């Protein structure tokens, strides 16, 4: 007979978070339907600006009543559950819950953070799936071999809708393998990938500064491997660290990008184009409100922005050896792979930092570029060919 898990704070926190989302979603959909109702009442031309204002009379009363009742239910559920949380044990989060929260934060992370939703993820360093306090890291150093404890750190930064556990795939983990083969101490970043890349970059820069200043031995070497969006977050952290005069950028020796959309991803640009088209008609314009609920992090992927609200080019960190690994689904690169298809999500040119405008090109040397053939975006996390190239880059002096 299978026993059910005992209730804990995480269970209650999840219920509170989901109930808040449900109430907010109900209120949001109600507003969308009301705008569409208002548009139909006014019967405007098929093209033009959407109708403003709210419905009136009994119709308006119905919509306002729905929103009012929804708010009352949400406040009631939240206030009744909050006092119980202190009476329950903390509980641990498993892989399934972590995966669910990662996807949820990737899609709605900025909304969750802005509304103080318990489901919002905070940024943290991890070692063997356990949280690392950057102010008290000696315990982590003591668990690893002496060479790594002396100061050879490897940081792995995941991509959109993922978390630190998902570096493990098909029995392989790039970080654990590099620790075994080259003696690095692997640390993994977990963060809310729905926030702006710049916000996560600034937070990461602060965490690394704290970690380096409290590490029990002088940090001789820091290497960062960023997968997909993680590469953009790493670049942003380098920029903020340099601007703030941090000490950790001086320890950064190598920066490796795995399938990072340096110049954006076409899927997000397609989503923004669809929003524009739907906005042309007042009858479909209310529906763009739903489409625009995607997170700030996803929006940043449109042009690979590492500065919020700006797609201005940002150079790679000076004095750091940078490498770029990309993949394509085909057996050999073609025009479509370079500009559109690539690994299914990131075009080849974008992943390698190439751009026809010299000011935007990252100019990563040819001998520090690598292409995996017949390989998809997610496969970069576990394919042996990718690891072999990673190992060669980190083992070499150039």
- Cα–Cα distance between 95 and 98 in angstroms, integer? 5
Residue 158 near residue 164 (C-beta atoms within 8 A): yes
Q: Would you say residue 72 has pLDDT above 60?
A: yes
Compute how many other C-beta atoms are within 10 angstroms of the C-beta atom of residue 2. 3
Query: What are the residue ranges of CATH 3.40.50.1820 in the chain?
Result: 124-265+301-395
Task: Give pLDDT, residue 287.
Answer: 43
Give the mean pLDDT of the chain.
80
pLDDT digits (tens, 9 = 90+) for 226-274: 999 999 999 999 999 999 999 999 999 999 999 999 998 876 554 454 4
pLDDT digits (tens, 9 = 90+) for 101-121: 998 899 889 989 998 988 999
* Fold adopted by 124-265+301-395: Rossmann fold (3.40.50)
Task: Give pLDDT, residue 349.
Answer: 93
pTM above 0.75, yes or no: yes
- Cα–Cα distance between 63 and 91 in angstroms, integer? 40
- Cα–Cα distance between 379 and 327 in angstroms, integer? 9
pLDDT above 90 as % of the chain: 49
pLDDT digits (tens, 9 = 90+) for 167-226: 998 899 999 999 999 999 999 999 999 999 999 999 999 999 999 999 988 899 999 999
- Cα–Cα distance between 288 and 298 in angstroms, integer? 16
């Amino acid at each position: 007979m299978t026993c059910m898990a005992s209730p804990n704070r995480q269970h209650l926190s999840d219920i509170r978070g989901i109930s808040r989302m449900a109430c907010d979603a109900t209120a949001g959909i109600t507003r969308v339907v009301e705008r569409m109702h208002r548009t139909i009442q006014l019967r405007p031309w098929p093209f033009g600006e959407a109708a403003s204002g709210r419905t009136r009379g009994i119709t308006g009363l119905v919509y306002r009543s729905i929103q009012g009742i929804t708010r009352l239910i949400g406040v009631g559920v939240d206030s009744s559950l909050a006092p119980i949380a202190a009476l329950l044990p903390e509980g641990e989060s498993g892989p399934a819950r972590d995966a669910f929260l990662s996807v949820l934060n990737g899609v709605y992370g900025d909304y969750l953070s802005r509304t103080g939703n318990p489901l919002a993820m905070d940024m943290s360093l991890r070692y063997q799936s356990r949280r690392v306090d950057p102010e008290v890291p000696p315990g982590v150093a003591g668990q690893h071999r002496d060479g790594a404890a002396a100061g050879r750190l490897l940081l792995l930064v995941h991509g959109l809708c993922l978390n630190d556990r998902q570096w493990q795939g098909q029995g392989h983990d790039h970080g654990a393998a590099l620790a075994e083969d080259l003696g690095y101490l692997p640390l993994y970043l977990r963060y809310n990938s729905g926030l702006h890349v710049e916000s996560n970059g600034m937070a990461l820069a602060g965490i690394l500064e704290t970690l380096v200043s409290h590490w029990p031995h002088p940090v001789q070497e820091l290497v960062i491997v960023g997968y997909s969006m993680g590469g953009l977050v790493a670049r942003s952290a380098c920029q903020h660290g340099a601007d703030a005069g941090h000490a950790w950028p001086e320890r950064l020796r190598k920066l490796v990008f795995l399938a990072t959309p340096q110049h954006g991803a076409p899927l997000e640009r397609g989503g923004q184009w669809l929003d524009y088209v739907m906005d042309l008609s007042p009858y479909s314009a209310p529906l763009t409100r739903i489409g625009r609920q995607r997170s700030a992090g996803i929006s940043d992927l449109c042009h690979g922005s590492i500065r919020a609200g700006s797609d201005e080019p940002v150079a790679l960190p000076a004095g750091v050896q940078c490498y770029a690994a990309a993949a394509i689904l085909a057996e050999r690169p073609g025009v479509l792979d370079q500009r559109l298809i690539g690994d299914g999500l990131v075009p080849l040119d974008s992943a390698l930092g190439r751009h026809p405008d010299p000011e935007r090109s990252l100019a990563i040397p040819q001998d520090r570029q690598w292409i995996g053939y017949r390989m998809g975006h997610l496969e970069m996390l576990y394919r042996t060919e990718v690891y072999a190239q990673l190992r060669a880059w980190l083992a070499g002096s150039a």
